[in-house]
Chains A and B, each alone.
Chain A
Amino acid sequence: MSAHIRLHPCKEGVPLKRTRSTVLATTSILALSLAACGGGADSADDSSGSFTPRGDVTMIVPFGAGGGSDRAGRATATMIEAADKDASVNVENREGGSGAVGYSTFLGKNGDAQTLLATETALLALPLSGEVEFDYTDFTPIMKLGDDYTLMIVPADSPYETCTDVVDAAENERITAGISGITGLDNIVFTLTEQETGVEFDRVPFESGGELTAALLGGQIDIASLNPGEIIGQLESGDVKALCAYSEERYSDYEELADIETAKEQGIDVAFAQFRGVLAPGGIADAAKDYWVSTLEKAVGTDEYKTYIEDNYLQANTASGDDFTEYLKGNNELLKQVLEG
């Protein structure tokens, strides 16, 4: 539970020390000059030989502060700084259009190895929606950090005990499933479950895990599919129960989740992960790519990485460089099959 993370909230701002008096002084200044934050980093392309980042590196988070993507981006920044003591990473939130604004900004950083992006499934889902001008091949995949699966959740007083119960019930009656968006992980696993079993769930669209939790507790919907990190509080208090995990393997690393069977164990052959990872822009020099891949390989060995994975209930399945690219390729095909029906 380390809250002591070194931060660089504002590149042009006053360098932030850990002493509290400095924080006091800078907070008030920063409050008045918030707009001074941001701005491009000067590119440090070194096409010959080795690469090390010059000055601050920018980590773009394509979603707002406080969300899952933001936590991943900030944790990654800390890991990188732990892996390379000379590196210093600023996190910049570029939210809008379900991530489209952040990724499009990143597309404009082509060749700039001073900029990274905290990526997740939106990288594949957005291009499949046909609204954006990029796809995953426009960027340089550096490292897949881990997998976030979902659990099928029902209220504590629900008659169902397994995911199979829900599927059986859906054959004869109406089951309403809350989802957090068309390209959300929850909609994807429900669609896969439907394709696998031939039943149908009626979707009710919500906008976040929090809204889904409220709807479940209030009895507005029958089922939802949520990340363990989103629902662990209600699981531990006994207000909801988890019927199955849509993961390849059980959450055996987590005592509180280890008893939850996978959907596969219950006879529903569905598992789909939301990955978390790091991208560099496309068109960067090989040396730069090598530097980032090896730095991130070191980063996933740090304590900071372990804390991040554990705090967020992820499964620590990593893949670096070209392996990450291969993973994206396979994941993209599967996603295409789901979204295009």
Chain B
Amino acid sequence: MLDNLVLGFSTALTPENLLWCFVGVLIGTVVGVLPGLGSTTGVAVLLPLTLSLEPVTGLIMLAGIYYGSQYGGTITSVLISTPGEASSVVTTLDGYQMARQGRAGAALAISAIGSFVAAIISLGLLVALAPPFARFALDFGPPEMLAVMILGLATIVSFAGDNRALGLLMALTGLLISTVGVEPGSGTSRFTFHSIYLLGGVPFVEVMIGLFAVGEVLYQIREGAAAPIRAGFRELLISKADLKRSAAPILRGSFLGFLFGILPGAGSTLASFMAYGIEKRVSKRGHEFGTGAIEGVAAPESANNAAANANFVPTLTLGIPGGATTAVLLGAFMINGIQPGPLLFDEQPALVWGLLASFFIGNVILLVLNLPLAPVFAQILRVPYGYMYPMILLTSLVGAYSISNSMYSVWVVLIFGIIGYFMKRLDLPMAPLVLGLVLGPLFEKALVQTSAIGDGNIGIVFTRPLALAVMALAIIQIVAPSLMARLLRRRNSSRARKADQAAEDKTEEHSHG
């Protein structure tokens, strides 16, 4: 183990690899910031450029883009409520509120610190325990994934906002939109109206850009430009109290993110939503969530970073991609003539350990880069919105076009921009819609597969222990709040009765005395 780490660091610390690691995380940050340009697109577009480098150097850079974008995706979520990555959608809920209160600097700083801590924890787990975790992930077959998806959908209740029914309605709308396209089982096309573009379904990245970025701009234009936020220098820095409040959420988010990250397909978006939902439950300040609670930024940001790293567990140990971006990275291995798979660690130790060591280095670079820059980025909010809005619109549309080099994406962004505007006016929560849209295809796939494996019987979810355990969690997630509320009420009322009793006794004593 120690030999391997020494080998890894000696590979990663060559001047050339250091340089490209730096370039990678820097580009990753930029890619993360730009809406639409997610890490998958970023890695795919820059992959060809790395072919002129040594394989290990190229992979170090591409991986840097991947985890760097997890840092960058937060910046616009917090500042202008425009998530750069799907996994940062949930960060807008509290991050943007913090920015409106002049605390953007603190929000950005905590997300950098949270991401860093999560990265180090998840990398430690990755280095020490990757093979057993990979075996564990293999036990998650379709029935288990179906249970995980139900658990994911169950979290909607916890961040639906004040009106739970509206939240569920929006999640359902997201699920419905996700049914457009080719059905995974039989290959039948649904709601495609003979358009080849709709065969692939309604792409959620474009929907996200439309709802959040374009929708927000349209809404703000109607509201009349808000005054630029001028925060004092002190407010830009993160306080000790902030750090103290965030410590536990960061740790919980890191471990949760890691667990979700090793499951192929579940990925960092679900991890961030789950972390937020759970934090809202367990936090003493759960009621402050949605109004600018720093825990609401710390937890999901740690979770998505941990999940991004955990995605490398199946990728490196089994040669099975954990998510969309690691799938492209796996392609990069193969273009370089390296065969990913169980023998990778034995056959290419310098490459694998060099890559893993570069993750540590890259994350240190990202922390050093992001922490001092947090207050600087926060200054962007001083730019009058009259200048900012056209910039947001431009980057949104250009970003959308770049996803698949096609105008179809641009139209999706514009249409959902208008939908987003009306949703804002009607006060409909958008996060559940995005979650429904992201989980929809995964949920359906797991459902179809489970039914196929069970020969038409999806009841096997309840006969496999692991699936059953996850289902139990999902059920607890749904019924716990109302159960807790009822218990609390009963306890309160019995306490109140006792208090009344005591008071009565006292008065009786008095009257007697």
Interface stretch, picked from A2-10, A157-165, A243-251, A329-337, is: A2-10
Q: Which segment of B292-300, B321-329, B355-363, B487-495 sits at the interface?
A: B321-329
Min C-beta distance of A135 to chain B, whole Å: 14
Residues of B within 8 A of A (CB): 16, 19, 23, 26-27, 30-31, 37, 41-49, 51-55, 58, 137-142, 182, 184-187, 189, 192, 194, 196-197, 199-200, 264-265, 314, 318-321, 327-332, 334-337, 339-344, 398-399, 401-402, 404-406, 408, 445, 448-449, 452-453, 455
Q: How far in angstroms is the closest Cβ of chain B from A255?
A: 15
Separation in Å of the A97 CB from the closest CB of chain B? 3
Give the most central of B52, B53, B329: most A CB within 10 Å: B52
- In the bound complex, do residue B319 and residue A210 qualify as a contact, i.e. CB atoms below 8 Å apart? yes
A202 touches B452 (CB 8 A): yes
CA distance A4 to B48 in the complex (A): 11
| Chain B residues closer than 8 Å to A181, beta-carbon distance | 187
Is the Cβ of A214 less than 8 Å from the Cβ of B337? no
B343 closest partner in A (C-beta): A237
Complex CA gap A206/B321 in Å reads 14
Report the stretch among A42-50, A60-68, A110-118, A276-284 that lies at the interface.
A60-68
Q: Is the CB of A213 within 8 A of B318?
A: yes
- A82 at interface by CB-CB < 8 Å: no
Q: Most chain-A CB neighbours within 10 Å: which of B196, B318, B319, B331?
A: B196
- Residues of chain A with a CB closer than 8 A to B328's CB: 64-66
A34 lies within 8 A of B200 (CB): no
Q: Evaluate contact between A233 and B185: CB separation under 8 angstroms.
A: no
Would B197 and A96 count as touching, CB distance under 8 A?
yes
Q: Is A205 an interface residue (CB 8 A)?
A: yes
Q: How far is the CB of A336 from chain B (nearest CB, A)?
A: 16
With contact pairs A3-B58, A239-B342 given, residues A23 and B329 touching in the complex (Cβ less than 8 Å): no
Q: What is the chain A residue whose CB lies nearest that of B26?
A: A28
A183 within 8 A of B: yes
Complex: A42 Cα to B137 Cα, angstroms: 50
B contacts with A: majority SS: helix
A232 contacts chain B at the CB level, 8 A cutoff: yes
Complex-state Cα separation, A66 to B324, whole angstroms: 11
A218 to B398: give the CA distance in the assembly, Å: 42
CB of A91 closer than 8 Å to a CB of B: yes
Tell me whether A65 and B331 are in contact (CB under 8 A): yes
Known contacts A93-B44, A211-B320, A203 near B452 by CB under 8 Å = yes
- Report how many A-B pairs have Cβ atoms within 8 Å: 206
Give the distance in Å from the alpha carbon of A214 to the alpha carbon of B264 in the complex: 9
Interface 9-mer from A98-106, A261-269, A319-327? A98-106
Evaluate contact between A236 and B343: CB separation under 8 angstroms: yes
Contacts of B339 in A (CB 8 A): 232-233
Q: Which residue of A lies closest to B141 (CB)?
A: A220
B45 adjacent to A9 (CB under 8 Å): yes
Please, which residues of chain B bring their CB within 8 A of the CB of A221? Answer: 453
A35 touches B336 (CB 8 A): no
Evaluate contact between B186 and A182: CB separation under 8 angstroms: yes
8 Å CB contact of B404 from A2, A96, A174: A96
A195 within 8 A of B: no
Chain A residues whose CB sits within 8 angstroms of the CB of B319 once the complex forms: 210, 213, 233-234
Q: A74 an interface residue at 8 Å Cβ cutoff?
A: yes
Residue contact A4 to B184, C-beta cutoff 8 Å: no
24 pairs, A vs B, C-beta closer than 8 Å: A3-B51, A3-B58, A3-B336, A9-B45, A18-B52, A20-B53, A28-B23, A34-B37, A37-B45, A65-B47, A94-B405, A96-B196, A97-B197, A131-B194, A204-B452, A205-B184, A206-B449, A207-B184, A207-B445, A214-B137, A217-B138, A217-B318, A220-B141, A239-B342
Q: Least Cβ distance of A261 to chain B in Å?
A: 23
The residue in chain A whose Cβ has the minimal distance to the Cβ of B324 is A64
Write out, one digit per residue, whether chain A residues 177-191 have a CB within 8 A of any chain B CB (1) or not (0): 000011100000000
Q: Give every chain B residue within 8 A of A229 (Cβ-Cβ).
A: 334
Give the complex CA separation of A262 and B440 in angstroms. 40
Of the candidates B23, B31, B196, B327, the one whose C-beta lies within 8 Å of that of A132 is: B196
- Determine if A30 and B142 form an interchain contact, defined as CB atoms under 8 angstroms apart: no
B186 neighbours in A (Cβ, 8 Å): 182
A252 part of interface (Cβ distance < 8 Å):
no
Is B23 a contact of A27 with CB atoms below 8 Å?
Answer: yes
What are the 4 A-B residue pairs with the smallest beta carbon separation, nearest first?
A233-B341, A66-B331, A97-B199, A182-B187
Cα of A288 to Cα of B294 in the assembled complex, Å: 64
Contacts of B401 in A (CB 8 A): 35
Taking CB atoms and an 8 Å cut-off, the chain A residues in 39-86 that contact chain B are: 64-67, 70-71, 74
The answer to whether B337 touches A205 (Cβ under 8 A) is no
A127 within 8 A of B: no
Q: In the docked arrangement, what's the CA distance between A132 and B335, Å?
A: 31
User: Which among B314, B334, B402 is the interface contact of A66 at CB below 8 angstroms?
Assistant: B334
Given A3-B51, A131-B196, A215-B141, A234:B341 Cβ within 8 A: yes
B453 cross-chain contacts in A, Cβ below 8 A:
176, 204, 220-221
Instruction: Name the B residues within 8 Å of A311 (CB-CB).
Output: 334, 337
Contact of B405 among A16, A38, A237 (CB under 8 A): A38
A5 to B50, CA, bound (A): 10
In contact, A27 and B49 (Cβ under 8 angstroms): yes
Q: A26 within 8 Å of B by Cβ?
A: yes
**Residues of chain A in range 265-315 having any CB-CB distance to chain B below 8 Å:** 307, 311
Residues from chain A with Cβ under 8 Å of B44 in the complex: 64-66, 93
Smallest beta-carbon distance B360→chain A, Å: 23
CA distance A234 to B344 in the complex (A): 10
Residue of B199, B328, B331 with highest tally of chain A CB at under 10 A: B199
The residue that B49 contacts in the complex, of A1, A16, A182, A204, with Cβ under 8 A, is A16
Interface residue A317 (Cβ < 8 Å from any Cβ of B) = no
Verify B337–A1 contact, CB threshold 8 A. Answer: yes
- Which B residues are in CB contact (< 8 Å) with A132? 196
- Please indicate the chain B residues that have their CB under 8 angstroms from the CB of A5 in the complex: 51-52
With A94-B405, A210-B264, A215-B142 already in contact, 17 other A-B pairs whose C-beta atoms are closer than 8 Å: A3-B53, A20-B53, A23-B52, A28-B27, A31-B46, A64-B44, A65-B47, A91-B48, A100-B199, A205-B184, A206-B449, A210-B330, A211-B265, A233-B344, A237-B342, A307-B337, A311-B337
Task: Check: A95 CB closer than 8 A to any chain B CB.
Answer: yes
In the complex, chain B residues whose CB is within 8 Å of the CB of A4: 51-52
B455 and A7 within 8 A (CB): no
Kindly state the separation between the CA atoms of A208 and B318 in the bound complex, as whole angstroms: 14
Cα–Cα distance between A34 and B341 once the two chains are bound (Å): 32
Distance to closest chain B CB from A60 (angstroms): 10
The answer to the question of A120 belonging to the interface, with a C-beta cut-off of 8 Å to chain B, is no
The smallest beta-carbon distance between B340 and chain A, in angstroms, is 6
Complex alpha-carbon distance, A3 and B92, angstroms: 41
| Chain B residue at minimum C-beta to C-beta distance from A105 | B406
A233/B48 contact (C-beta < 8 A), A101-B197, A181-B187 known: no
Cα of A70 to Cα of B44 in the assembled complex, Å: 11
A101 contacts B200, CB within 8 Å?
Answer: yes
Which residues of A in the span 188-203 have a Cβ within 8 Å of any Cβ on B? 202-203
> How far, in angstroms, from A45 to B16 measured CA to CA in the complex?
45
In the assembled complex, how far is the CB of residue B343 from the closest CB belonging to chain A, in whole angstroms?
Answer: 5
Contacts of A9 in B (CB 8 A): 45, 48-49
Q: Is A92 an interface residue (CB 8 A)?
A: yes
Residues of chain A within 8 A of B58, CB atoms compared: 3
Rounded to whole Å, the gap between the CB of B409 and the closest CB of chain A is 10
* B196 in contact with A100 (CB, 8 Å): yes
Report the Cα distance A224→B104, complex, angstroms.
51
Instruction: Tell me whether B330 and A35 are in contact (CB under 8 A).
Output: no
Contact between B196 and A104, CB atoms less than 8 A apart = yes
In the complex, A204 Cα to B19 Cα: how many Å? 46
Q: Which residue of B45, B139, B184, B327 has the most chain A CB atoms within 10 A of its CB atom? A: B45
